[in-house]
Structure 1
Amino acid sequence: MNSLESQFRKDMKRLVLPSILQMLIGNSFSLINTLMVGSLGDTAVAVMAAAGQISFILSMILSAIFGITAFITQFYGKNDFANVKKAFGLMLISSVALTLVVFTLVSLFKAPILSLFIKDEAVVAYGVQYLSVIVFVFLINSIKDVYGNALGSIGQIKLTLVVGILAMVLNIVLDYILIYGKLGFPSYGIVGAAWATLVASMISALILLGYVYGKKYFFNVSWREIFSFNLPFVRKVYGTTLPLMFHEGMWSIGNMLYAVAFGHIGVAALATYQLANTFNGYFMMGIFGFAYAAKVMIGQKLSQDDPSEAIDYARKFTRIALYSSIVVSVGIVLLNPYAGYLFPNLSGEVQSAFRHVMIIQATVMVMFFLNNLWIVGMFRAGGDNLYTMNLILVTTWLIALPLVFAGAYLFHWPVEWVYLMFTLEEVSKACIGYFRYRSNKWARNLVHNL
């Protein structure tokens, strides 16, 4: 085994498992809430799906801002720590500023926003109570997630992993107490799930920041260092990340419109869509870990003058994604008959539709895996964000969305057929993205002139 292959395996093992565990924790927040709220019936799940679209849009736009980590990774790879701090400060300020805008808009227009997905006024009022609490989670995460992503971009994931485990355990306990009214507390229902998430997020943020600054851990930057970036630096970084922000914004709005279409079919269809998204996060955990490792490892290789090692890494990760997706697809098919047992209080209509949707997911899982690896793990590592923006405009807005809306509004197809149209986004994205992956045009050094 040559030294390059040995180093590849060593770095991959070091990065993949902690990342998968972190994704497990993150997805568990959503799954635990869905499982517990699912006991309240289809309506509660639909409310959480509608409110979740808002946080999803924000998280996707923020993930574009977190695209600045591509610079952090490459600066760190060449030991340029002054610019690491500049990039971190710019990312933190951008995240908080954007979240404050979204917080204000959502606080002012909660009911109209929820009415996009749900037509029943009583259900909308129920959702307003939930959203009134969840909106404060946005502010907390706008700071906490910047530190978490920055640490992850240089391969330091252990702290966020430990904090995430603590937050998940706390979230489970508080869900049980506040949703069902245990230990002397009243039963808050779905609003209890919101309070549980808020408290768990607040405590986990305090622990993370307390450790970073108390122990002088990575990114224990001062106020002066946070604002150390200058206008030429901002122009260079934003010149690369703005297309990614537009990419994530358009993609997340597209996903919100998918939810609108499923909501038009009915509460049961929207609940099915929510379950499908929740479980898809679990099915994708493996590739998220490899995509994270690819972003760090390829990004550091791209800071060198010769991109050949980065391209070699890309080929290795692609083979891993292909084989992993086949294993996951088989697992989904085997688990499918037992899916309904997790949600005994949901209607038979939702349980039946969800099982059918799982089969559709198993069929196209290879596309989900390859797209995540290529876009997140490779294209973003090289700052190839203009291409991914155009890719989203074509596959989401010109292919999948028109088909989903046609199925829901014109042809009145059942939820399974509409979901099949939804998956054509991933199919078309993989078919088109393959040629970009093979061209190696994404393999760019972002920091050679900074």
Structure 2
Amino acid sequence: MVQSGLSRRMEGQLAAMRTSELELHQQFRREITRLVIPSVLQMVIGNSFSLINTVMVGRLGDTAIAVVAAAGQIGFILSMILSAVYGITAYMTQFHGKQDQESMKEAFGLMLLSSVIITLMLLIIVLLFRSSILYLFINDSNAVLHGVQYLSVLMFVYLINSVKDVYGQALGSIGRNRLTLVVGLMAMSLNAVLDYALIYGKLGFARYGIQGAAWSTLAASVFSTLLLLGYVYVKQYYFHITPREMLRGFSFSFAKKLFATTLPLILHEGLWSVGIILYAVAFGYMGVSALATFQLARTLGGYYMMVIFGFAYAAKVMIGQKLAQEDPREALIYAKKFTRLSVAASIVVSVFIVALSPLMLKLFSYTSPEVQTALHHVMLIQAAVMVMYFLNNVWIVGMFRAGGDNVYTMKLIGVTTWLIALPLVFSTSYLFHWSIEVVYFMFAMEEIAKACIGYFRYRSNR
């Protein structure tokens, strides 16, 4: 009878464990659906700004695409540095999970101030050295002149977005991204109409060419910022913090605590973004066609990556909330679920890339045959290494950063970018003068190496 009673207790415990696992699995599915779909839609909108501009400008030829690519490097390095600042949202997610509203406001104020200050510092440098920066990528004085005009307008876009994006990131950190999704959709529509009107001189407007793309982006940014902040403050939606509240709540001890983990992340993103710019320098050395191919591949790659970033964002929020609990074991369960799901999703995305590549190439039918051929081959390379892109982003952004493991990610970038991929890219382009496709595969070696090394960190459960 004692043995029978013990068996019943064990069966009851096993049943309770199965019920708990089932509830956790159902919770995982609900949360990932709630977070991934809006996040992916939001990134579709964000990437569409770049795609619309590139497609519109692409009708002006390879040189125009190369000019946009060269000028866009400034925005890229800024976005990467600011994405590191937005790492503060990992704390905001945890504060939200603990219902600590005061710390939420303080973290938001710190993130907003940091974003604006960093943007202003970079824009001062760009203002002083615009031409010299563009000559790194394009050795054509006429093209650089167009690039300076284009970049002069974009500088205002970067400053406006340094405020708007903080609100979007903050809302996203607590899973409230429907507002930014709607505002982004409206801004994208405005940007498309103005691109058509200002680049080609339609709808009663003068023809501005490449500079018209910059003006349309500026108009869309102003519109979306006014709409987003207007709703937040008029409706007193989340994060309607006043400047006085922000400054009054600023605490240097609190800032020191947050920056202890985000500063390595800033260095991480800074190192990686400088590396990406050097990749663009290498492709620019190979000629306008190579730089145009690199830009088009990155633009299309943004659409493949949006699914990846959606998973990474969901992982950051969901794992971050689990880590805020007393027992973090469920965070490890979520990490394994995200890894398996990432592998399956990467296979689906790879199949889509191969199947849809002919259709995507038609978007850039006005480019040269050399660019068309190289871009097709590069897209196949992207499909082949897609699983690496998925795993790297989910592990680094969704897991390592959610747990504050930013020092390791900085070291990982230092090794894979600066010691592996960059030497391979520059040797194959400058020394051996190999084809665009081979050089691009050397560029993709960064992701391959990152996944191989990062796997051991993921398995360690640190």
Corresponding residue of 1:342: 363
CA contact (8 A) 1:20 1:285 kept: yes
Report matched runs for 1:192-203 at 5 Å: 192-203=212-223
CA contact (8 A) 1:16 1:290 kept: yes
Report matched runs for 1:43-62 at 5 Å: 43-62=63-82
1:76 pairs with 2:84: no
Amino acid paired to 2:439: V
CA deviation vs aligned residue, 1:69-124 (integer Å, no higher than 9, x gap): 01101111101110000100000000000001111111121101100100111111
1:325 pairs with 2:356: no
Instruction: Tell me how far apart the structure 2 counterparts of residues 299 and 64 of structure 1 sit (CA, whole Å).
Output: 16
* Matched position secondary structure for 2:385: helix
Amino acid paired to 2:202: K
* Matched position secondary structure for 2:238: coil
Report matched runs for 1:10-89 at 5 Å: 10-89=30-109
Shift of 1:225: 2.4
Instruction: Tell me how far apart the structure 2 counterparts of residues 184 and 7 of structure 1 sit (CA, whole Å).
Output: 54
Shift of 1:229: 2.3
Shift of 1:284: 1.6
Shift of 1:412: 0.5
1:414 pairs with 2:432: no
Corresponding residue of 2:321: 300
Instruction: Tell me how far apart the structure 2 counterparts of residues 38 and 66 of structure 1 sit (CA, whole Å).
Output: 32
* Structure 2 unaligned blocks of 5 or more: 1-18
Shift of 1:337: 3.1
**TM-score, length-scaled by structure 2:** 0.94
CA contact (8 A) 1:144 1:209 kept: yes
Shift of 1:440: 1.2
Amino acid paired to 1:440: N
Shift of 1:307: 1.1
Shift of 1:340: 2.7
CA contact (8 A) 1:339 1:355 kept: no
Corresponding residue of 2:15: none
Corresponding residue of 1:100: 120
Instruction: Tell me how far apart the structure 2 counterparts of residues 367 and 340 of structure 1 sit (CA, whole Å).
Output: 24
Instruction: Tell me how far apart the structure 1 counterparts of residues 209 and 41 of structure 2 sit (CA, whole Å).
Output: 29
1:368 pairs with 2:393: no
Range moving further from structure 2, 242-251 or 306-315 = 306-315
Corresponding residue of 1:431: 452
1:395 pairs with 2:416: yes
Corresponding residue of 1:115: 135
Instruction: Tell me how far apart the structure 2 counterparts of residues 198 and 337 of structure 1 sit (CA, whole Å).
Output: 32
Shift of 1:310: 0.8
Amino acid paired to 2:246: I
Shift of 1:147: 0.4
Report matched runs for 1:118-197 at 5 Å: 118-197=138-217
Corresponding residue of 2:260: 239
Instruction: Tell me how far apart the structure 1 counterparts of residues 61 and 263 of structure 2 sit (CA, whole Å).
Output: 41
Instruction: Tell me how far apart the structure 2 counterparts of residues 287 and 320 of structure 1 sit (CA, whole Å).
Output: 11
Shift of 1:224: 2.6
CA deviation vs aligned residue, 1:234-273 (integer Å, no higher than 9, x gap): 1111101000000000000000000000000000000000
Which has the greater radius of gyration? Answer: 2
1:7 is aligned, of 27, 34, 56, to 27
Instruction: Tell me how far apart the structure 2 counterparts of residues 341 and 59 of structure 1 sit (CA, whole Å).
Output: 29
1:440 pairs with 2:461: yes
* Matched position secondary structure for 1:284: helix
Amino acid paired to 1:434: Y
Corresponding residue of 1:444: none
* Matched position secondary structure for 1:156: coil
Shift of 1:336: 2.3
CA deviation vs aligned residue, 1:411-443 (integer Å, no higher than 9, x gap): 0011110000000000000001111111111xx
CA contact (8 A) 1:61 1:248 kept: yes
Corresponding residue of 1:446: none
How many percent identity over aligned positions? Answer: 67
CA contact (8 A) 1:90 1:234 kept: yes
CA contact (8 A) 1:272 1:350 kept: yes
Instruction: Tell me how far apart the structure 1 counterparts of residues 415 and 366 of structure 2 sit (CA, whole Å).
Output: 39
After TM superposition, which residue ranges in structure 1, 4 or more long, deviate above 4 angstroms? none
2:233 is aligned, of 201, 208, 213, to 213
Amino acid paired to 1:356: H
Amino acid paired to 1:423: A
Amino acid paired to 1:146: V
Instruction: Tell me how far apart the structure 2 counterparts of residues 338 and 432 of structure 1 sit (CA, whole Å).
Output: 35
Corresponding residue of 1:250: 271
**TM-score, length-scaled by structure 1:** 0.97
Instruction: Tell me how far apart the structure 1 counterparts of residues 360 and 171 of structure 2 sit (CA, whole Å).
Output: 36
Shift of 1:67: 0.4
Shift of 1:345: 1.1
Corresponding residue of 2:280: 259
* Matched position secondary structure for 1:155: coil
2:293 is aligned, of 253, 268, 272, to 272
* Matched position secondary structure for 1:413: coil
Amino acid paired to 1:38: G
* Structure 1 unaligned blocks of 5 or more: 442-450
CA deviation vs aligned residue, 1:49-73 (integer Å, no higher than 9, x gap): 0011110000000000000001101
The size of the alignment, in residue pairs, is: 441
